[in-house]
Structure 1
């Protein structure tokens, strides 16, 4: 990694949190990556210049035998064993854990305490409302999150999977009540999923100076160049989401892959790094989120930190995915 890449930092909205512009997704920890592999990935990520880890209390309740909180537990054990808490920024989320569903105030408080216990830490750096809860008055949720900041349990607030109107409403309520404002937004956004640009979310992120952290940045592996034909999705080493990734294999998807290949060849860089570098350069995006379920997948993610695409390359990718 170049010295420039090592020195590159981005601020999370109006908070005092600064990170390297790449978030390591923790959704695989305790699911497709066991404890030992997760530790290896976390070690290599931080050694390679990364310092921002994204997880959620519900990861990975969907996996057979899991009950939720597995990812946070592994990250917490890694933090304890490596004594590395002050060297990383931790984001987690509330609303999907089977025992802590929704965003009622009592639930938010209880879920935050449970996450702190699993993470073995005294504060959550960035705490997201994971999914909107229309059964709970938004005023109640906004106040609960702000109270966690006042209590010192949370440093900054984020929202994920909200519509633009609901994000704007959160800000109206927070300002009217004198509550802490969100600083981050986590939407679904990548080269082949670009609704974020037109559904109002980018506009509200610009208006409120929100740092945007897109999830599924590599379109479930498609934008890593892993799936070039339908057979790739059924290979023995394919991920559990390979079938969904292969759905992008239409004319548009192949045009995107061709543009990615051209940029990757020009920079002698992995296709995944090009995809992440394009996303990082989009307005309001602070850092893409990407997961690695083994050490082999991590170098391509870290390579994005030092990859600078030209204006022509960015435009070519943008046009191919239009």
Structure 2
């Protein structure tokens, strides 16, 4: 599999496998088959979080499954594992945002210990501030994550669902404190652009599902040490499962036109819309598409996208649709 480099220094596979539903809606046997096949195909980058599956219980199922799998396969050193802090519930069985743990320094310190134990490891390769918690002073969060990097508990630190101006502010604060700065940002990003008039999901004083904007891509171009990990890149299967993926504010004229161009290119190259989306995203060197798979067949579809070649004309048509 082709490679990307996180933060200009950490090689990873060009596709990141999302493990959000592993151990719950994706049963353990299927999840392990997906993980085994991903690694067999050259995949090294796997994403999870301390709160995943808390909507079905207390959370942590995904981390625990990954920990058991890595222990059984003895492959920890060949992988880059990303996990997160900030959105785990403090009230068992109630994942509501009013109970999210947040990003205070003490919370970060305790949460990383929980993730290490569930993953069965002594280090985390990439640790995200899951949601931009504007209740907590940003310098406190930046300092807490920076100290984990200084202590060797984590390698890279990043943020997710964060506005560009907040990312810049956090990086400046890290420089002032002399600690590891955010070098990876995980945002909702796909081929379609949502309507700017779509409702914003605001929790803990800041937007939750933050789509990568033109400003994010402009910021990336000016900062080659920064990587965008694009979550929900396939819109949860919506490109394949409906006449048009209208969820999350995509039902607007520009998106309809863009979707039709996507389908035309897919027919031309004999691929699925999902594969064209991933192949198009892979032409941006600072972007790593993050996708989920609930079956091995879905994984195979995504893996085949890595080899899909799009012509300059097709790329331009997709870009300008």
Matches within 5 A, 1:105-120: 105-120=105-120
- Deviation of 1:27 after TM superposition, in Å, equals 1.1
More strand by share: 2
Q: CA RMSD in A?
A: 2.0
Q: Which residue of 2 aligns with 1:211?
A: 227
Asked if structure 2 preserves the Cα contact closer than 8 Å seen for 1:167 and 1:204, the reply is no
Aligned equivalents of 2:297, 2:251: Cα separation in 1: 24
Q: Which has the higher helix share?
A: 1
Distance in structure 1 (CA, Å) of the matches to 2:247 and 2:24: 18
Report deviation, 1:283. 6.2
Partners in 1 of 2:254 and 2:222 — Cα distance? 31
Task: Tell me the CA shift for residue 243 of structure 1.
Answer: 8.1
Distance 1:228 1:249 in 2: 11
| Superposition pairs of residues 1-322 of structure 1, within 5 angstroms | 6=1, 8-14=2-8, 16-63=9-56, 66-99=57-90, 101-193=101-193, 196-198=212-214, 200-209=215-224, 210-223=226-239, 225-228=240-243, 244=247, 248=250, 252-282=254-284, 284-285=286-287, 287-320=288-321
Question: What's the CA shift string for 1:182-204, capped at 9, x where partnerless?
Answer: 21111111111366342x22233
Determine helix, strand or coil for the equivalent of 1:306.
coil
- 1:72 deviates by 0.7
Separation in 2, partners of 1:118, 1:193: 36
Residue of structure 2 equivalent to 1:238: none
Q: Is the 8 A contact 1:149 1:156 kept in 2?
A: yes
SS at match of 2:241: coil
In 1: Cα distance, 2:188 partner to 2:58 partner? 25
Structure 1: 5+ residue stretches without partners: 1-5, 230-241
TM-score (ref. length: structure 2): 0.86
Structure 2: unaligned runs, 5 residues or longer: 91-99, 195-210
**Runs of 4+ more than 6 Å apart:** none
